[in-house]
Copies of this chain bind each other. A is one copy, B any other.
Amino acid sequence: MAEVQKKLKVVVSLDLGPEVMPLLYNQPNLDVVVWPHESASGKEWLLKNIAGADGCIIMLFEKIDAEVFDAAGPNLKVVSTMSVGYDHVDLKELAKRGIKLGNTPDILSDSVADSSVMLALMAGRNTKQATNVVEKGEWPGWGWSPYGLCGPQMSPNSPQDIRTVGFIGFGRIAQATLARMIGFGYTRCVYVARSKDPARAKEIEQTIKARHPTLTTVQRVELDQLARESDVLYILAPGGPETYHIVNETFLKQMKKTAVLVNNARGTLVDSDALAKALKEGWLWGAGVDVVEGEPNVTVDHPLVKEPRCVMIPHIGSATWESRIGMGTIAVQNLLAGLAGIPLVAEVQVSKV
């Protein structure tokens, strides 16, 4: 008689949908406990259900800390987050307990790059005001005029008109965004990045220039220069204390009056009050944000929601079927690999972070 194998318990903090959940349900050795909605379970549910779990799949919305690990107990081998970022996971506690952490990078580089360019265009072209003219039924009386709703042009207007795209963070998503900006005629790229190593900057410059022969400049710069030179500035760096309010009044005051700022990373990188003030006073032209500090508690009296030149969408920068199904699939693969004790598809090197 075969030995009855004890099932492994996995806790999934949101329903991953009909394309992904079968990848879990089809595993005969798993006991799957899942929050039965396509939305965040909340930490209370997680704490109640995680006892004895061998692994869990989570999202950005629950802080995964000592309290959760204590509730889970000693079986927990792997935490798999369906996200690129992992600010919400206490890495020290993970390291201390020898728990592996998987994330889902790469698969959303293209969807986030797409939405980054979209936000830049929307902010420059005043779509918040423009769509409101239509949606409030004001078009008939609006009165088209040659300069009505005009904004700065994202693309250069002639070959002599040299434009610079700037990046805070210059990883995969930023580089995918750069590829798109080249199609819009951008020839200069400046960025700030965590690494201050000149050899690394040189290597990046050579790689990127080889990939995009029309680029004349790819340069790691200081924050001041980044603010001064960028026509479009993309924030695509991790959150956390190192980048907290990296875009503040000092930074914004140095920007071009025609520049557009996009935050498609984490809300904490931008001081919202400073950005609202900058927009109101015309230090820069416009902003497009997918993330805001304190989200989702952002209501109509939020200073950025009130700004006509701030376009805001509710953290859907990677919301394409391709990316999200892909993220769910990798999250399951990471979980299964962690349970099996083999290398994860995408593993955060916890001890090195």
Query: In the assembled complex, which residues on chain B have CB atoms less than 8 Å from the CB atom of A316?
Result: 125-126, 130, 148-150
Q: How far is the CA of A136 from the CA of B115 in the complex (A)?
A: 21
Q: How would residues 190 to 215 of chain A score, 1 for a CB under 8 Å from any chain B CB and 0 otherwise?
A: 00000000000000000000000000
* B183/A147 in contact, CB under 8 A: no
A323 in contact (CB, < 8 A): yes
Instruction: Name A312-334 residues within 8 Å CB distance of B.
Output: 312-316, 319-324, 326-328
Query: In the assembled complex, which residues on chain B have CB atoms less than 8 Å from the CB atom of A150?
Result: 316, 319-321, 324
Query: In the assembled complex, which residues on chain B have CB atoms less than 8 Å from the CB atom of A152?
Result: 320-322
Q: How far is the CA of A105 from the CA of B153 in the complex (A)?
A: 17
* B322/A40 in contact, CB under 8 A: no
With A145-B38, A155-B110, A183-B182 already in contact, the answer to whether A136 and B312 are too (CB < 8 A) is: no
From residue A109, how far is it (CB to closest CB) to chain B in Å? 10
Stretch at the interface among A46-54, A71-79, A296-304, A344-352: A296-304
A127 in contact (CB, < 8 A): yes
Query: In the assembled complex, which residues on chain B have CB atoms less than 8 Å from the CB atom of A314?
Result: 130, 133-134, 139, 142, 144, 149
Q: How far is the CA of A320 from the CA of B39 in the complex (A)?
A: 40
A239 in contact (CB, < 8 A): no
Specify which of B110, B179, B297 is in contact with A156 (CB 8 Å cutoff). B110
With A147-B17, A311-B131 already in contact, the answer to whether A140 and B296 are too (CB < 8 A) is: yes
A180 in contact (CB, < 8 A): yes
Q: How far is the CA of A323 from the CA of B179 in the complex (A)?
A: 24
Instruction: Name A104-156 residues within 8 Å CB distance of B.
Output: 110-111, 113-115, 117-118, 121-122, 124-128, 130-131, 133-137, 139-140, 142-156
Q: How far is the CA of A139 from the CA of B316 in the complex (A)?
A: 12
Other A-B pairs, 14, CB within 8 Å; known A133-B313, A134-B305, A144-B296: A17-B147, A61-B144, A111-B155, A114-B125, A125-B316, A131-B131, A134-B314, A135-B305, A137-B305, A144-B314, A146-B324, A149-B314, A153-B320, A153-B322
Residue numbers of A with Cβ under 8 A of B are 14, 16-17, 37-40, 59-61, 82, 110-111, 113-115, 117-118, 121-122, 124-128, 130-131, 133-137, 139-140, 142-157, 161, 179-185, 295-300, 305, 311-316, 319-324, 326-328
Q: Which 9 A-B residue pairs are closest in the complex by CB-CB distance?
A: A183-B183, A153-B320, A118-B121, A38-B145, A39-B143, A157-B322, A137-B300, A130-B313, A180-B183
